[in-house]
Structure 1
């Protein structure tokens, strides 16, 4: 069955699964239509400025207080939360991993979460964590919400269906979705085992970046973001709700599905976006612009112009700059870059970076093209060339990203990564 979506980013949406379920004129009337309960889900402080205030009114069969019981601690040791120390014994330097195989054991989107890096401090709502997820079975009568941060999901292999309180989103490789902090959901497999990446953002909500001199159009267009339409479950059967709160996990038995919202209106919603609709901008004559021109979403920090998290992609695009070294140049950066490849070839590491793999270049550690990429880009014909069939991304943060023990011991860690820069010859032609 094809799903319907509402289009736009950050807009005030409204949706009802039953005609007349949305109250008219009042958010919380004395008696809601159909005997529903009114409940507000706030993603920002009540007093946040109007242009950044995020909240949605839910009209549901039972209020959320009915979807919880006595909680018990749950052990998910491979899903970690900042702050955390660096992995013991891991030497300082750039890191790269090949694509890890999907485990053969039964794992859901939640139990298959594996933290690679953590940065900042979730307790003060700053920073992020970069995760891999492996899912080999759907969640059945199992529900989850994250009280620590919103979750940006980047599928790399296999699709997922997220049944949320506000409706259903289906995402496949090449698309992303964002699950807001506090939003209950269930994740199901669309087409077999799934693997991908998650950015757990502890800070300000992800938003579209400002365009500045670019003007009114370009990059990710608001109209291409899609929110779900209302779809409720009226199921009175025992289920399980797990909550991530303060870096720990807690679960309780509940007597019915918590996805019982019949109607809703607001601007605090889950949403999806097709990365292939991104409209790149770039150099049309000379020189190499900063990679920030490929920012899809950004989480602001208290320092203007320095993000808590940026989500950046490197999609299909034309390369036309003349007399210019086209791949990313050698650089050191105050930001820390966790990079992944969804499909295709990444031009700065054509031989060593594989789909499903990842790399980490932490703050002020030098990195750039490998020897072969440098040699090719320095000598090739610079006619117009289209980068096709490629989609890489970056989770970039102002905080150092501490690698977890799982990441440090992952069997696909490339222990010889730094040797990709061996053989960079001295070309200096000056004389003393």
Structure 2
């Protein structure tokens, strides 16, 4: 947006021109004012949110809800979770640094229930009374996502969660000073109303009168070349190249989904990446959350091929040269009772990756965090994998596809043999 002409600005122009033996005529001043207002009107006439629902513009920041994932644990005392993914885009000509006002995220539904049992934000730094994390930085034209999760604890005998949600949160625009200190320059309170599930429980079943979530494109150019299940955030290109599904069988069963990612450095500088502790989440189209065994510091057994970032401990072994790609995988486990629950066949996988920088004295600092969301995933191998072969667009050769098919068949045969014992 162009700046408004202020009388003090015109006075300063007149003074500067006068010292140069020239003073603008009133007609020139008026022409400049009307030209500026005309340009402002043109900028306002162009709507950055055109074609997108649940989208808003605050100054040079565009914010839009791109996914609403709903889960439910079941049971008498149940937990109903709403995970909202919001894409932030810098519309201006200068970089923007943002932070999330800690504990400001709030979700409520059309039954008047407040999802306050727990809440968290991922992919964006927090701002508290004593500190501010400036890691969420947007270059002009850049877009990045962040996740906000709120959970309702309820008794199924007394209440039932709604289907339409409202998301409130507060963002803080930050400035990093020359001495390294961070200060707040602006606070933005945001509300997104009329949200329906796009993934998980009730996905696609939008109540009458509610606009479905429709996101405007994140970038003008398709950095993924049209390939499916692929996202680019900052200098990182991430694509899901495999979804392996297994099930233990039995009354108390364990349904495991291994998601394999190909991570590429699209930038011009080397990258060091790590997986932040407890930042991944997988859900299915039955609203079930695959989080068994993640608590108590045992999550490391589910992370393969990439180091973890947990508290003060960090593994910097996942390093990528410019253009280099490597794979990593994550296991998500559902513990369920076969008499009461049935796992779904369509999955949504969210994960956050931390970009690290090495300082002196062997110190490591988190420079950025990038949140990735991959909805509508189907098995490519294992249980139900035959129907999903080749559907992820991993770019492998025909020989690789045949090998994957043979592997999938072998896994299914072994699984059926195990279930028959």
TM-score, normalised via structure 2 length: 0.29
Q: Quick one: higher RCO (CA 8 Å, sep 6+), 1 or 2?
A: 1
- Structure possessing the higher radius of gyration over alpha carbons: 2
Q: Which has the higher helix share?
A: 2
- The structure where strand makes up a greater share of residues is 2
| Structure 1 length-normalised TM | 0.28
